[in-house]
Structure 1
Amino acid sequence: MGDVAMTVPVLSALVHQYPNLRITVLTRTFFAPMFAALPNVKVHEADFKGKHKGFLGLWRLSGELKGKGIDVVADLHNVLRTQILKQFFFFGGIPFYQIDKGRKEKKALTREKNKVFLPLKTTHERYADVFARLGFSLDLSNSIPLHKEKLSNKTIELIDPKTRKWLGIAPFAAFSGKQYPLDSMEDVICQTLKTDRYKIMLFGGGQKEIQFLDTWASTFDQCINVAGELSFKDELALISNLDVMLSMDSGNGHLAAMYGIPVITLWGITHPYAGFAPFGQDARNALLSNRDEYPFIPTSVYGNKCPNGYQDVMRTIPAKMVVKKIESVCFKK
């Protein structure tokens, strides 16, 4: 989800700098609401578990896309499925440009020995490079955030009137090495709510996560679990109305960044140098684990490789530091 969300600011820059372009985004049905507010952008829904499954399904999909009169393809994913689609478009005479993911540089950044600890090109810049190869150079500094969405009646009933700062917290990540310890996050929630200046919305997904967030919501006043309560469209609208989002190196941070919401990110065994920081955010809002104590950071790009002894790297980010950062962002003078 995070990779898909990261395309939105780039497409925003594209459609506003080239208003005569007609863009078709190929993505899963679930992700379609991310693109609804972009002018001249339509979504073609990919059904990889149904009619677009397997080689024949991809052949069918390529035919559907060719039927839309597509002139050129920008592949921002560069995986096996898109490699196959590339061949189908090649035989149809349609140019097909793919992202350079910078695998060699990322390997140098994440290896233990002879690590090259330097900031790499951001993923947003890599997406923009694909469009530049198509002849559409982009100035990402002119990307326009998505507008604030109107809350649904269901959301309003769940959240109640806005009398405090709205703080979104997304405490989970795909891998434990980039997830802030839950006991420390509970401490953050406790300290934050003691100020009586915030209402906290908890974001997550999956039954186990929902059950855990329900426990926090029942323990703390002014703490609401929205996971499993709202549609994805309504969840995006709520995110667009937040004052700040506290996220791991994960998808919810990128969703908030689409709307220009300030995002505070917590980083474990991954690092912003790999190019996956949320778009347009103040670098000071990225709280990093201590590399003096854990010099192998980053150990991987996605957080799936955690060396022995690196399980607790995020405990070097004290809860009081997170609370102080929330306060400084929410009540910036």
Structure 2
Amino acid sequence: MSLPAKVIVTRFSAMGDVAMVASVLKEFALQYPDVELHMVSRPAFKAFFQDIPSLSYHPIYPKEAHAGIGGLYRLYKELKEIGATAVADLHYNLRSRILGSFFRFAGYRVKQLNKGRKEKNALIRRENRILKPLRPTVERYADVFRELGFIDFKLQNILVNTPKEIPELAKSLFADRRHKVVGIAPFAQHSFKVLPFPKMEKVIAALSQLGYVQVIFGGGKEEAEIAAAWARKYPNVYNSIGKFTLSEELAIIANLDLMVSMDSSGMHMASLMGIKCVSIWGATHPYAGFLGYGQSIKNCVQVDHPNRPGSIYGNYSCLCDGVEAINLVTPQQVIDKVKLASR
């Protein structure tokens, strides 16, 4: 069977997962430069794919034009105009499965993500827990392409940095190269993945005293206020939240010496830009397969406990002898790991 010349790729959310898809598609485009990729995701995530050759971006509007089954059928008709013959469903949620069914009935090759739910349940269950590294999510994404016929597709899983031009408003942060510039992504969607702010402030204070320039990323209005307060309080700490587009944020990240992030999109954005990341883990665990592409488990900050992990996505509490798992992490552990990783 001949290889598809055009492939529709679907992954609608979440931000970190879409960034991981971008890392995989960057590798795919290098290995199969003659294959057209047509990425379907939310408009906000387009910047993740801006540097991938032979890729076009098709936005989905799940609450507007593409809402409900009727909206998904409208999306199907839009995508059908591309002339592809295959669909890589890298989401495997209700929306993507309905969309995939339309294509399958029309004779397209449709392959879908295997999320490995059984193994993940074994990783987080309280009794007879099986604590072992599971298949990385990026490999699960790549498996979908292998099932479509691209059997030689191989992920290198290494960080490749391509420097980008620094946005004008951020150039001053990199003016003195005697100081290392570290990104700080201290927020996450779920509180059980967030190092308590008093502890994170101690990390920021110590890194400031050690001479690091720190750029805080991620979040909305409330997070911006927290970041701004830290920036006012400590030298060489800058709040980037709300000041740059996603494309500009990626350009800044591409010039960092190091990123510090929760188990969240900050880590995956660093991976996409080829930047080493110190990641902090609480209720979740890198064994679940969500460690950033090309990142090392040696740069993960976590405290072993029989109750960890208690969640795959961080949406459930994980109490460890009455203490939330993320609160087991100490500021000094993070500081030491940053000093080691930034050498």
Fold shared by both chains (TM-score > 0.5): yes
Q: Secondary structure at the match of 1:268?
A: coil
What is aligned with 2:92?
A: 78
CA distance in 2, matches of 1:126, 1:113: 27
What is aligned with 2:256?
A: 242
1:262 aligns with 2:276: yes
CA distance in 2, matches of 1:142, 1:246: 19
Equivalence map 1:92-107=2 (5 Å): 92-107=106-121
1:171 aligns with 2:203: no
Q: Secondary structure at the match of 2:238?
A: strand
1:301 aligns with 2:315: no
Give the deviation of 1:143 after TM superposition: 6.5
1:186 aligns with 2:201: yes
Question: TM-score normalised to the size of structure 2?
Answer: 0.91
CA distance in 1, matches of 2:159, 2:214: 27
Give the deviation of 1:123 after TM superposition: 0.1
1:320 aligns with 2:335: no
Of 215, 219, 242, the match for 2:233: 219
What is aligned with 2:168?
A: 153
Structure 1 residues 323 and 143: CA distance shift in structure 2, 3 A: closer
What is aligned with 1:139?
A: 154
Give the deviation of 1:311 after TM superposition: 4.7
Structure 1 residues 318 and 221: CA distance shift in structure 2, 3 A: same
- Could you tell me which amino acid in structure 2 is paired with residue 296 of structure 1? N
RMSD: 1.5
Kindly provide the CA deviation profile for residues 199-225 of structure 1, in whole angstroms up to 9, marking residues without a partner as x.
Answer: 000012111111111110111110000
CA distance in 2, matches of 1:26, 1:146: 25
What is aligned with 2:104?
A: 90
Give the deviation of 1:310 after TM superposition: 5.3
Give the deviation of 1:28 after TM superposition: 0.8
- Could you tell me which amino acid in structure 2 is paired with residue 140 of structure 1? L
Contact 2:159 2:295 in 1 (8 A): no
CA distance in 2, matches of 1:145, 1:101: 27
CA distance in 2, matches of 1:40, 1:268: 39
Question: TM-score normalised to the size of structure 1?
Answer: 0.94
Give the deviation of 1:228 after TM superposition: 0.7
CA distance in 2, matches of 1:328, 1:37: 31
CA distance in 1, matches of 2:331, 2:159: 33
Q: Secondary structure at the match of 1:299?
A: coil
Kindly provide the CA deviation profile for residues 214-247 of structure 1, in whole angstroms up to 9, marking residues without a partner as x.
Answer: 1101111100000011111111111111110000
What is aligned with 2:10?
A: none
Give the deviation of 1:87 after TM superposition: 1.5
CA distance in 2, matches of 1:112, 1:322: 28
Give the deviation of 1:279 after TM superposition: 0.7
Q: Secondary structure at the match of 2:62?
A: coil
Structure 1, unaligned runs of 5 or more: none
Structure 2, unaligned runs of 5 or more: 1-14
Give the deviation of 1:273 after TM superposition: 0.6
Kindly provide the CA deviation profile for residues 33-81 of structure 1, in whole angstroms up to 9, marking residues without a partner as x.
Answer: 1001011111111111221111111101001111001110000000010
Contact 1:147 1:259 in 2 (8 A): yes
Q: Secondary structure at the match of 1:245?
A: strand
Aligned length: 326
Contact 1:10 1:143 in 2 (8 A): no
Structure 1 residues 94 and 7: CA distance shift in structure 2, 3 A: same
Contact 1:121 1:275 in 2 (8 A): yes
Kindly provide the CA deviation profile for residues 96-122 of structure 1, in whole angstroms up to 9, marking residues without a partner as x.
Answer: 100000011101111111111111101
CA distance in 1, matches of 2:158, 2:308: 31
- Could you tell me which amino acid in structure 2 is paired with residue 167 of structure 1? V
CA distance in 2, matches of 1:266, 1:153: 31
